[in-house]
Amino acid sequence: MNSPIRIISDLHLGHRGSLLHTVEQIGPLLKDTPTLVFNGDTLETQSKEDKHSALSTLTEIKKLCNSNQVTPHFISGNHDPDISDLHHITLRNEEILITHGDVLFPDIVPWSPYAPKLSQLYHSYLQELTAEEQDDFIHLLQINKKHP
C-alpha cells in the first residue's frame, strides 16, 4: 500500500484575508502524512512590505514539517511565484500530476492591471508553438512562466 499524500492549496499565509494566522494551525494536517504538497499560494510574496515576513513563514513551515518527519513539496502559485522553481509535480510513478493551475490559465487574475498585457504576451508565445506543442503540458508550462 502506498503512503498517504496530503495536498493543500491557497493558504495565503501572511494575507489579511487568510483564515490561518500561525504556521502551527497546519499542524493537524501533518499527522500520519509522510508527504505534504503545498500546491501554490501558500504565502503572499507579491507584496513588497510582506515579502520578508513571507520568507520567514516559509522557514517556519519547513521546520514544522521537519519536526514532524514530513517531506514538504512547494509548488509555486500566482501569489507566490518565487516560493519554488517547482511549477508542477508528479507522484506515484507519474500517476498523479499536481499543479496550481496559474501556469495553464494565463487570465487567472483578470482584475490585475497587467492582465491585458499578460494575455497578449501569452497568445503571442502560444503562436510560436506548433499545434503539437500547444497540446503539450510542458510547453504550456514554459510559455506561462516565460518572462518578457
pLDDT for the residue numbered 108:
64
CA distance 20 to 10: 11
pLDDT for the residue numbered 106:
61
Q: How far is CA 96 from the centre of its chain?
A: 16
Q: Which of 99, 119, 103 is nearest to 111 (CA)?
A: 119
Q: For residue range 22-64, list pLDDT tens digits in order.
A: 899 999 999 999 999 999 999 988 777 777 777 889 999 999 9
Residue carrying C-alpha cell 521546520: 63
pLDDT for the residue numbered 111:
58
pLDDT for the residue numbered 1:
53
pTM, entire model: 0.74
Weakly modelled stretches of the chain, pLDDT under 70: 1, 103-114, 144-148
